Structure 1
Amino acid sequence: MGAKKHLVLIGGGHTHALLLKQWAKAPIKDVQVSVINPGKRAAYSGMLPGFVAGHYALTDLQLNIEALAKESGAKFIQAAASDIDLEQQTVGLSIGGTLSYDIASIDIGITTGLKNIEGFAEFGIAAKPLDHFAQSWHQFMKDVQQGHKRPQLAIIGGGVAGCELALAMAYALRNTAEASIEIIDRSEILAEVHPRTRQIIERKLHEQGIQMHSNTEVLRLTENHVHLQKGDNVQSLASSFTLSAAGARPYEWLSSIGNEANPFLLHEGFIQVDPYLRSTNDKVYAVGDCAHMTANPRPKAGVYAVRQAPVLYKNLVAELQGKPENRQLYQPQKDYLKLMSLGAKEAVADKLGWQFSGKLAWQLKNRIDQKFMSLFREQ
């Protein structure tokens, strides 16, 4: 009998979480699985605005990656990956040492950190990774309630995520005196959203007194202040909680993978994958927001990560069993139902050019989110 093959799952994103559930039901003989993730738990993105608003507890949106690994018979390693050696087939670990693999899959998500802005590392908070942001918000609300911090917030990034979080924060602070929230974007606010959806969200932002600064550059952060420039006008905003929800940025360490003899191709820093979810190296797969689907590019959205899970499972099994002919193509849908929270238990739904908003939309969003999380409740 030959040695067991080793499948290494790098990251505890939504796709890998679902994969572990499937592996627990149908494990593959003679395959050892290891899961690498910086934390024992990971946050579910769909319920984050609801958590910020106070509709959910922190535990309601946490996926217990360590418990999922245990349930599936996998080894859990609490660390971050720091590099991958394609020739040696090893993963470098932030805690030191390496882990060898026969097949690896990467699902590490994205970051919204702004290393190029002076002072962000010291005074800013990135919306992603989600688990760190969730913990930071939980602590900030405690500090505000105890009078240790003023309820002055600034959000860098005026896309859907930034506006959802701004409305959620406004709802959470609705009974707090002197609360102020500012959204800052270097271009137009909600530029990527359908015009009718934009009108609905902007109306809510105005109703909540949230100030919007479009076409404005963030120069630097200092303690309790954000320094801006719009045209020739330079100003400072008071902020005790400065959040970046500005775009999707890949983790920098991905750019160090591969070389001319053994290439590992990226698209704007994201891992290029084929329709089988395989990178340009046939031993490494990538899914979720860290991947770029070269044949069918799509925006970064959780719906794609969720629907990649059964395809990834089948393709990893095919690779590990030496039956590549059993692999399956992943064909992402062209559009999907977008459900965006509006602070209170209201949301706006948008698909194929039609929209509706209000409590019914929030109930639909809540039902979908709860259905997803119910898959993991026993954890």
Structure 2
Amino acid sequence: MRRLLLIGGGHAHVHVLDALAREPIPDTEVTLVSPFPRQIYSGMLPGWIAGHYSIEQCAIQIDLLAKRAGIRFVQSACIELDIEAKQVRCANGQTIPFDIASIDSGPTVDLSFAPGALEYTLPIRPIEGFVTAWPGLLERARLATSGFKLAIVGDGAAGTELAFAIQQRFALEKLANARVTLIGSNAQPLSGLPARLRKNAVSLLKQRGIKHLASRRAIEFFPGQIRLSDSTTIACDACLVVTGAAAPAWPAASGLACDENGFIRVTPTLQSSSHPFVFSAGDVAAYADPRPKSGVFAVRAGPVLANNLRAACTGNTMQRWEPQGNALYLISTGKRHALAAWGALSTSGNWVWRWKDRIDRRFMQRFS
């Protein structure tokens, strides 16, 4: 009996669980290790904040998917991988052996980038941590009748979308004195996306009353204050960190080949470049053909990962994953309106939000 271990409940592993429910792998015992029984779909999180969805509409119950597939589910985080002994140690004290492992544990946020970040900010990841903290943060804004200042560090797609969503929620709650400030090191938000779309985003931020502090970094955090790289200091009642994805420490510590940032190097078949019995996909992976850290690529890698894990267990031929050159980016702007980018092309409108909503709901319905 082979032992297949799935570490993490990310977007790619959701496809694996679905595939295993449809067709189990013969003579294979499968275990899923994840710290949470559900996966909050990141594409719909801003919609939940803005008040368009309930949290249940944004959640995939991976524990139920595992149960449907006859997979043992261990609710805990992996904290150590012993690559020679082929076993992992979990935060709950369990040690789980494996013959083949797949890692889709998602990224973390590195709070060591500035003094005080660990003590005085709330990272967006893990998403469950943010989801738990958000109602309390919103209640603080409701009670702050003299005004509430919320800062968001990171003006990429996730940070910008979050700024729009929170400002929309403040408007929905009629919190006229609540303000959002977006801090980023670029001249405009949404680095890497088309210039026209970025210009559109700047205009929308101004329209929605969101202040964008461009071309500066947060370099130190204090209670109620942030010091920036231009030597200015801004006041804030709460600060969210939505900077780039960071890798957990344990993959590199295990001896797996990783890139300079600690992400697991994988071949086109999604196998570790140093240990072929380990697979990886999603943001924790460094693909042979590099791609941005985006759920779009994790979702697309899912079917190939499912096929190759089956092939590894049965001795069949593996597929190569060739990620698309361009990804479709759909960025909601708080209201039922969104921006869209495909390569150098961009557009926006209420119809883009309806398009995004259909895509997201269809994705969720597949795994309900």
Length-normalised TM-score, structure 1: 0.92
Deviation of 1:267 after TM superposition, in Å, equals 4.3
Using the TM superposition, name which of 135-144 and 70-79 deviates more: 135-144
* Contact 1:40/1:64 (<8 A) preserved: yes
Matched, 1:289 2:283: yes
Deviation of 1:187 after TM superposition, in Å, equals 3.5
Matched, 1:18 2:15: yes
* Contact 2:10/2:282 (<8 A) preserved: yes
Deviation of 1:276 after TM superposition, in Å, equals 0.3
SS in 1 for 2:204: helix
What corresponds to 1:195 in structure 2? Answer: 195
Using the TM superposition, name which of 243-252 and 138-147 deviates more: 138-147
* Contact 1:34/1:75 (<8 A) preserved: yes
* Contact 1:180/1:210 (<8 A) preserved: yes
* Contact 1:275/1:293 (<8 A) preserved: yes
Q: Distance in 2 between matches of 1:251 and 1:335?
A: 27
Amino acid at match of 2:63: E
* Contact 1:149/1:240 (<8 A) preserved: no
Selected match of 1:40 from 23, 30, 37: 37
- Identity %, equivalent residues: 35
Q: Distance in 1 between matches of 2:260 and 2:232?
A: 35
Give runs of aligned pairs for residues 1-379 of structure 1, distance below 5 A.
4-147=1-144, 151-174=148-171, 175-190=174-189, 191-230=191-230, 233-235=231-233, 237-258=234-255, 264-280=257-273, 281-294=275-288, 296-323=289-316, 326-377=317-368
* Contact 2:120/2:221 (<8 A) preserved: yes
* Contact 1:267/1:292 (<8 A) preserved: no
Deviation of 1:241 after TM superposition, in Å, equals 2.2
Q: Distance in 1 between matches of 2:147 and 2:114?
A: 23
Deviation of 1:128 after TM superposition, in Å, equals 1.9
The 3 A distance-change label for structure 1 pair 113 and 57 is: farther
SS in 2 for 1:67: helix
Q: Distance in 2 between matches of 1:96 and 1:49?
A: 35
Deviation of 1:149 after TM superposition, in Å, equals 10
Q: Distance in 1 between matches of 2:4 and 2:328?
A: 33
Deviation of 1:301 after TM superposition, in Å, equals 1.4
Q: Distance in 1 between matches of 2:263 and 2:42?
A: 19
* Contact 2:266/2:287 (<8 A) preserved: yes
Deviation of 1:299 after TM superposition, in Å, equals 0.8
- Give a deviation string over 1:28-59, Cα, whole Å, max 9, x none: 12111111111111210110111111111111
Deviation of 1:110 after TM superposition, in Å, equals 0.9
Deviation of 1:17 after TM superposition, in Å, equals 1.2
- Give a deviation string over 1:66-89, Cα, whole Å, max 9, x none: 111111111111111112111110
* Contact 2:153/2:242 (<8 A) preserved: yes
Q: Distance in 2 between matches of 1:270 and 1:305?
A: 14
Q: Distance in 2 between matches of 1:143 and 1:211?
A: 20
The 3 A distance-change label for structure 1 pair 124 and 149 is: farther
* Contact 1:113/1:128 (<8 A) preserved: no
The 3 A distance-change label for structure 1 pair 219 and 352 is: closer
Amino acid at match of 2:303: P
* Contact 2:258/2:286 (<8 A) preserved: no
Amino acid at match of 2:267: D
Q: Distance in 1 between matches of 2:163 and 2:242?
A: 10
The 3 A distance-change label for structure 1 pair 151 and 62 is: farther
Deviation of 1:147 after TM superposition, in Å, equals 4.8
* Contact 2:194/2:345 (<8 A) preserved: no
Amino acid at match of 2:170: L
* Contact 2:194/2:343 (<8 A) preserved: no
Deviation of 1:130 after TM superposition, in Å, equals 1.7
Which blocks of at least 5 consecutive residues in structure 1 are unaligned?
Answer: none
Which blocks of at least 5 consecutive residues in structure 2 are unaligned?
Answer: none
* Contact 2:145/2:177 (<8 A) preserved: no
The 3 A distance-change label for structure 1 pair 302 and 16 is: same
Deviation of 1:227 after TM superposition, in Å, equals 2.4
SS in 1 for 2:240: strand
Deviating beyond 4 angstroms after TM superposition, the runs of 4 or more aligned structure 1 residues are 146-150
Q: Distance in 1 between matches of 2:331 and 2:49?
A: 14
- Give a deviation string over 1:329-355, Cα, whole Å, max 9, x none: 111110022111111000011113222
